[in-house]
Structure 1
Amino acid sequence: MFLDILMLFFIISALQPMLTQAALRMSRQRLIARLEEKNKSRVITLIHRQETMSILGFPVMRYIDINDSERVIRAIQATDDNTPIDMILHTPGGVALAALQIARALKLHKGKVTVYVPHYAMSGGTLIALAADEIVMGKNAMLGPVDPQLGQYPAPSIVSVLKQKPIANISDETIIMADVARKAINQLRNSIINLLPDEHPMDEKESLADILTQGIWTHDFPINVDVAKGLGLNVSTDMSQEVFELMNLFPQPTQYTPSVEYGSTERRSQPRRPH
């Protein structure tokens, strides 16, 4: 009897995560369908959360990769040319090739493309956002520079070495890296110019591409709503509440004690009573 109960416990423990994931997936699909009906659009999500490996239990960051680009491109191809696309982005960035593929597919879509950034879309995520007709950001959301990274070093910093020292005092390896870095910057700069909406004047496109790729800021510099508007991007903060609800359906792993907690009751300011 005890062994039967123990076996049942292990079976339930094994099935519980699968059932939870299935329930979350169904809830996400219902909310996505609601958003699509509301906006008469195709909703595509690209959301990267920190995940925990089930055995060893250490965190693994997720990034934009080729698998993501293949799935997003298939979703775009399955969308009628004139149907608007609403893309919800939450990512630290990732492989430049994959981000460029997604951005180019969005750029070529004939219907209106809106990218929603509820919290952050850095690096490759920003590259994707640049291809949109409109970027909707949460009031505290952030974008980031897209300067190429070669290994552990930013490409603009490698190029700047050539200006700091006589060429005879620079190793051959550094000179080669600087040459590759210069090519990477130019390639990404030209890609950004091609991705930005056609109605933008060419001089504004070139200026924006220079700012985002030339290492004016560090790679993790937070481009908030005001900075993004100052750069000439078509940004609004008209974020639908459903987008934040959808983010709640992509939970972080629950194997650890949360670092942030607050009461479940909605709090609104109340007029103080006189003493």
Structure 2
Amino acid sequence: MGNWAEITDEISKIYQDNQYKIRQINDVDAVSDKRREALQALFEHTGRNVIVYYSAWLENGRRFSGQSTDFSVNDTDKNSFMTALHKLDQSKGLDLILHTPGGDVAATESLVDYIHALFGQDFRVIVPQLAMSAGTMIALSSKEIVMGKHSSLGPIDPQFNGLPAHGLLEEFEQAKKEVSENPQTAHIWQVILNKYNPTMLGEAKKAIQWSNSMVKQWLEKGMFLDEPDKEEKATRAIKELADHSVTLAHNRHISVSKALELGLNIKELESDPKLQDLVLTLHHLSVIAAQRGPLIKFVVNHDNRGTFLQGHEN
């Protein structure tokens, strides 16, 4: 039942049959019941623990613009993961279904460290649609990334004061070069350079070094652990994913074919039709939940244990 139209038709039929009343997402309704069924079926299919981390930024980002940071990876997510991971059989490993715009690097590092502490490298990330920025970092910390033809990762160049750190440094270096070659252009660059100060530039450099070294270490100890040239492979992947001069835009979408070209350990979702059906069913149900309620994000496991964050109208 992974098709969007089939899922919405079934949900509508349930409502029409008056088996449920329309309630908020954290109540027992048709959508949450179907999600619970799909999560349990996925657990039975893979034999692995399953957690869904779903952000509704695409559906409700504008609606709750005052809570924009809540849609992103942040330190409050740790409590949600603690709830969802509590009492799970760690010997079964973990599959994380991830849909996120990214977020805070420090929170991402802490979350990955927590997952590794519980499951070691027996950790897989499934991307039903988008795992951008810090979401890509989380994916790169796993042993394998499952992607469909419709799935995308994104560049991991860190954001600094809302700007790509690489882009900030490139702009400063370009200004310095042009003014050095032609001092008459100084007044043109004056307005731009006034935005920056030495502290800001230094912090941007540190942010780049931090995220690059962190992800490189994850790749070498995880996805590329058994590769004889793991250091070279990790360095190449970081170059392609973290260098703003290569990726060109922070929101650039990296397809499954490009991820394979980078040498990442990718499993194509279409190679397992049952897995594909269950993952897409979960994804579409999550989208429907976001469209029908004030959802910001949720983290829930195959036992239906987790947390739901809802927005408040301004």
Specify the code of the residue in structure 2 equivalent to 1:88: I
- Contact (CA 8 Å) 1:85, 1:111: kept in 2 or not? no
Q: 1:76-225 alignment to 2 at 5 Å?
A: 76=85, 78-108=87-117, 109-110=119-120, 112-166=122-176, 173-196=196-219, 197=222, 198-200=225-227, 201-215=230-244, 216-217=246-247, 218-225=249-256
Residues 184, 31 of structure 1: alpha-carbon distance in 2 compared, 3 angstrom cutoff:
same
Query: What is the aligned counterpart of 1:243 among 279, 282, 290?
Result: 279
Structure 1 vs Structure 2: percent identity of aligned residues?
Answer: 26
Q: 2:291 aligns with which of 246, 249, 253?
A: 253
**Greater RCO (Cα-Cα under 8 Å, separation 6 or more):** 2
User: After the TM superposition, which residues 18-97 of structure 1 pair with which residues of structure 2 at under 5 Å, given as runs?
Assistant: 18=24, 21-23=27-29, 24-50=31-57, 52=60, 58-60=63-65, 62-76=71-85, 78-97=87-106
CA distance in 1, matches of 2:26, 2:152: 31
Contact 1:44 1:85 in 2 (8 A): yes
Q: 1:20, CA displacement in angstroms?
A: 8.4
What is the number of equivalent residue pairs in this alignment? Answer: 238
Shift of 1:49: 1.4
Q: CA deviation at 1:178?
A: 1.3
Q: 1:33 to 1:172 in 2, by over 3 A?
A: closer
Maintained 8 Å contact 2:25/2:32: no
Higher helix share: 2
Q: Normalized against structure 1, the TM-score is what?
A: 0.76
Q: Structure 1 159/18 Cα, relative in aligned 2: closer, same or farther at 3 Å?
A: closer
Secondary structure of the 1:132 match is coil
CA contact (8 A) 2:121 2:143 kept: no
The change in CA–CA distance for 1:172 and 1:34 in structure 2 (over 3 A counts) is closer
SS at match of 1:36: helix
SS state of the match for residue 16, structure 1?
coil
TM-score w.r.t. the length of structure 2 is: 0.68
SS in 2 for 1:125: helix
SS of the residue 1:209 aligns to: helix
DSSP-derived class of the 1:253 partner? helix
User: In the TM superposition, what is the alpha-carbon distance from 1:32 to its structure 2 partner?
Assistant: 1.3
Return closer, same or farther for 1:146/1:83 CA change in 2, 3 Å cut-off.
same
Q: 5+ residue gaps in structure 2? A: 1-20, 180-185, 187-192, 294-314
Alpha-carbon distance in structure 1 between the residues aligned to 2:176 and 2:74:
39
Over aligned residue pairs, what C-alpha RMSD do you find? 2.7
Deviations along 1:165-219, one digit per CA (max 9) or x if unpaired, are 3499755943321111100000001100121122341121122223322212111
Q: Assess if the C-alpha contact under 8 Å between 1:82 and 1:110 holds in 2.
A: no
Please state if 1:234 is matched with 2:265: yes
Kept after mapping to 1: 8 A contact 2:121/2:142: no
Give the 3 Å change call, closer, same or farther, for CA 157–136 of structure 1 in structure 2. same
Partner Cα separation in structure 1 for residue 125 and residue 25 of structure 2: 31
Equivalent-residue separation in structure 2 for 1:243 and 1:141 (angstroms): 12
